[in-house]
Chains A and B, each alone.
Chain A
């Protein structure tokens, strides 16, 4: 079937505004009478607050109010419900907001925060989650039992465990006994920051009549309203949340934000609008980042490569607050089996409080973490068994229509084609063909593979909806709340609408502001779900609108509805294209020559609700957690400098089974973007803490991000289209997937070629250099010899 828009490389719909600098972000907004807020943050990692003296701060000209936590002791949150607006009686990390200064100018607010005097009574601090798990560990959250948490989670009051996820399937002990090879391995990941370019910033206006208006740089409007309504007790329709363009999110602008706090500040400041803008330093020390991660894994394989038993314990260093990280801990747990069939599996995933920066999801929601572990275990087993890494994967891959995941969910027949993903990956990277020798003989070249699978991490009842209304000229306003923070989703959704109505793309409009008051509800655009869930809701809205249009047209054209079709903006009788009515004569109601009219303005509505998803059993982790699975793989060919530990990616291949590519231009852009972010996080990114819990690298000089000069030299993106029958045009989600395979593929390349295990992220030169010296001193020595010889050759040629 050929389409006019679906499957076509349509440029991003918001391109014009973005290249002209006229796209408006919350960062750019000012309201009349607006005040500025700045946060006073804790300088100690764990302490009781003895006294806060704000008198000197109030003396700064322009300061309107200083607010402290005791005045507004609300608990806020989405999943764990553990967060305070400002520290109430205790600070739990260096960077914890203790007070907020509200002033007429930013300058006055900045000056005043240094003059708020906070007296602390220090408590011992816990920085290591393994310490926090000890039975005699000090409690960071003493009143955990009072928190209002979602039923999907299991906090354990009286401990530092914010969520305990357990999964049991088969008999793992028996599985190990029946295995020929058993491996035990450890893996770790450092904290990383999302580093979206637009810092978190919020404007709140708490009106005297009790209405609260919010403008925020956040991914989704609905959760902001929900969190505020539940925690502050404001009726939903009195909270209006608006989100204009957003300068990046990557999961770091989902879940809990600053909106409830800034709303309270607006109220405290005499109901004037207040804006809070975080600094980049605060993004690294006060806003939530991706958690630290530890994994202790044991895996059993049979001689023929069958993955027989897997037991893994994940420990997430969630920091001081874990509101969203509990869901990361859950997703790490239920994705432990990746895309392999493992008959016997035990998982324990603990989300643990420490006195460090709070944490949240980052592009992949636990899946990059679980795959960092699993995909390396596969390669290590392969080496022990003498089986090729591609072959051991081929052998253990799940079979849609037959296999069950580790949560006991049967994979749908149309879930995708993982074997084809693997085959394409292997072909594109030239697996089995040795790399060329590097020009510098102290370097080595190597290839590595990683597969992955992912579905959205979400509650079972996460709904979406769409409203589609026609204007007089048969143009369409699509009222959706789909988050728009850089992905191609909205453009793709517009393509679907234009396609279905046979209208030019220009006739379809999605406003850039998401608005709880005006947009149809969607739970959240996270977890790569937007195109799938909102696309389904839109298709239903289209069906609804078409039905209204055909009902009127059938009367006018005196023809049964099923004989009508929509082509090029006209309703036509099938087989008699000359019997037709232009859409604009119907969409506001049809008027007969004498003035009699029928029908009326056409408004389509549609919903998405997943009917098969469930909560997971609290003891066994069994159930149906996701709405689709996207299979994919990443392969890299890299060059490793044995003397410096530097890794240089020569070629990266990414293969994804997307069901249907709605927009090849933007899918490729997402793929490239994920590969680049994945490279950055794999090789460079790490938030470093000193022994007192301070972040020592809160800036882009000492926290390095990949720049345009650091790209993999060659990238290849390939898509497989095994349609998911209930997806929009068969499509599945992609956004986060593109990052998952990068880190394990890099580590596997190095392990396969020289046997050096890299268990930690990031694989920065210092770490790799140390690992090389510890594990392969012979190679390093040989490389030095080659290097010194090579220098001599250079001297001769000069």
Chain B
């Protein structure tokens, strides 16, 4: 059983105890952030099943990269986890391979079918989300990330800066350009001028 003080401790404090050997505290960190990471990954991919895999990957990667960890305001791990999620989403195929390889080297975990899954509603969600993503994907990856972090993940500018590993000023300017580019996409075309911030055809960085 976890002691009472854990509930009031910051992520930074829990994480330091976890790294020091209190392995069961992973359930605390996971419990605090898994839902928001899962939601973020769904909104970035439009697939619940991919979001489930990516959520596992994000926490695995967080552990693997624990030496690089950066905490946000009040010792929160949340912005950094979204940064790890961004990398995992960008390198999805490789991340999934690494995840499977990691699982194969661990004793089998108990995975049972979840009988409560609302299949129809989930399919509706996915269809709706893919329509949104089809528009968003016309923006550059930087603009997609900054919009997703601030609008969907609810991070403030400082949190987004931690997630993206860039200065706050860069987040502000990216966000401004991303919103302008998004507004231009939503407007009917009135001339042939290129939209600032939209990515060239096929670009992915």
Are A and B co-members of a single complex? no
Residues of A within 8 A of B (CB): none
